[in-house]
Amino acid sequence: MRLGILLILTAISNAFVCAFPEGFFAKLTNFFRRKPTSSPSDEITTTYRHYSSPDEDIFDAHAERVSQASCQNGEVYVDEAGTCMAVQYPGQPCQYSKQCDAVEDGSFCSRLRCECASGMQISGRSCVYSNQNCQEKGLIWIEEVGECKRAIPPGSTGCSHSSQCASVFKGSSCYRQTCNCPSPLFPVNGTCGPLCPPQQTFSSVTGECLPS
């Protein structure tokens, strides 16, 4: 009699365990999943994350894949917005840099308009090198010395010519190896903006002071 009951319980237990996705196991009414992780010594260890059901981890991962895979042609998934948005070409209006970079690598959204990377300029619906002598993004041609130099954003050091600064923000200049903004603007997040009132921060994307 006892042997028969034991066999029945074993069969039920095996059927219950086999119903879980690979990597899951049950402990009473809790569910866990084994996840290998690397320790600082590069030894492989096993950690466990608790789930209320084996479907929880699967559905979370599936939802993330679907949200990005559901974008149509001409769209890109924007993490900050949590949705698909239309890609934008250089010179077109934008809300996020991801919309610009999806079309032209290195382009970004500034003052609600897609701009080319430093050392490049808008030509039609694409970006081209401002000077054929410098065929690398981020470099500009310095006529006085006849060589390419790195574009320097406002507030950063390392400039030797004002054109390195002006290529990033029009009107900025190099003083004591630092790129300075034209008055009355101030360096902020790699560009120039006004001094915002308390509790506000300048946004290079909108070109305005926004509540912080």
In a domain, 138, yes or no: yes
- The average confidence (pLDDT) of the chain is 80
Three-state DSSP state, 174: strand
Report which DSSP code applies to 157: B
- 86: helix, strand or coil: strand
Is residue 137 domain-shared with residue 150, that is, in the same domain?
Answer: yes
In a domain, 155, yes or no: yes
State pLDDT tens for residues 120-159.
Answer: 999 999 999 999 999 999 999 999 999 999 999 999 999 9
Q: Which residues contact 39 (CB under 8 A, 6 or more apart)?
A: 45
Is 119 a member of any domain?
A: yes
For the segment 70-115, what is each residue's pLDDT rounded down to a tens digit? 899 999 999 999 999 999 999 999 999 999 999 999 999 999 999 9
* CA-to-CA dists, residue 59 to 51, 53, 66, angstroms: 12, 10, 10
Long-range contacts of 202-209 (CB under 8 A, 24+ apart): 204/110, 204/111, 205/94, 205/95, 205/96, 205/97, 205/109, 205/110, 205/111, 205/112, 206/111, 206/112, 207/110, 207/111, 207/112
Give the range of the structural domain holding residue 80, as residue numbers without chain letter: 73-130
Number of domains in the chain: 2
Instruction: Write the burial class of residue 133 (CB in 10 Å: 0-12 exposed, 13-18 middle, 19+ buried).
Output: middle
Q: Is residue 16 one of the residues assigned to a domain?
A: no
Q: Which of 46-60, 125-139, 175-189 has the lowest mean pLDDT?
A: 46-60
Please report the pLDDT score of residue 212 as a whole number. 86
Percent of the chain with pLDDT over 70: 67
**Separation of alpha carbons 179 and 165, rounded Å:** 5
pTM score over 0.75? no
Residue 126 is assigned to a structural domain of this protein: yes
